[in-house]
Amino acid sequence: MSSGIVLPKEFVYPASAVVATFYLLFWQTMRVGRARRSAKIDYPQVYAENAEVAANHAAKVFNCTQRAHQNTLEALPVMISGTLITGLTYPIVAASLCGGWVFARILYTIGYSTGDPKKRNMLGSNYIGLLCMLGLMGSSTASVVGLIRSL
């Protein structure tokens, strides 16, 4: 017996939201590169050393910018998989939560890239992003449970 998943026509929305994450990462990568050049931190050094940070504010800005990018990369697998799984049954919810997360990451990156880690929660971006991630975790779980029950 063969069964398949038929994608709803609205699946284009979560797919578009996932594509937005590509542009988010590209933008963050450009910011990291600019900060790296400004701080004169050579490859393959991932972060500036404490002595470099103490002597050069640009090195702290680099570390903060790099950390914002790294933190985004750490969350990305959950966000992309959660968006695509949720999108199978709740495409508008999936797109909205992923889009909200991308917006929150932009604010987070701008705030963190000031060189002051306390500014990374600019306009509540940490909380917005966390709520979007938790929403995707819950809705993707509901989607999978629904798919399993339909077997």
The pLDDT tens digits for 59-102 are: 999 999 999 999 999 999 999 999 999 999 999 999 999 999 99
Locus of tokens 């990568």: 29
Residue 1 CA, distance from chain mean position: 39
Report the predicted TM-score, pTM, of the whole model to 2 decimal places: 0.92
Residue 129 to residues 72, 108, 133, 136, Cα–Cα distance (Å): 10, 9, 6, 11
For every one of its 151 residues, what pLDDT tens digit does the chain have, with 9 covering 90 and above? 556 778 899 999 999 999 999 999 999 999 999 999 999 999 999 999 999 999 999 999 999 999 999 999 999 999 999 999 999 999 999 999 999 999 999 999 999 999 999 998 989 999 999 999 999 999 999 999 999 998 8
What pLDDT does 3 receive? 63
What pLDDT does 6 receive? 80
CB 65 within 8 A of CB 72: no
Distance separating alpha carbons of residues 145 and 50, to the nearest angstrom: 48
- Closest by alpha carbon to 113, among 57, 37, 31? 31
What pLDDT does 2 receive? 56
What pLDDT does 4 receive? 72
Within a 10 A sphere around the Cβ of 85, how many other Cβ atoms?
21
The total number of residues written for the chain in this structure: 151
Residue 134 CA, distance from chain mean position: 13
Beta carbons within 8 Å of 99's beta carbon, 6+ residues apart: 17, 20
Q: Cα angle vertex 110, ends 49, 138, to 5°?
A: 100
Distance separating alpha carbons of residues 46 and 70, to the nearest angstrom: 10
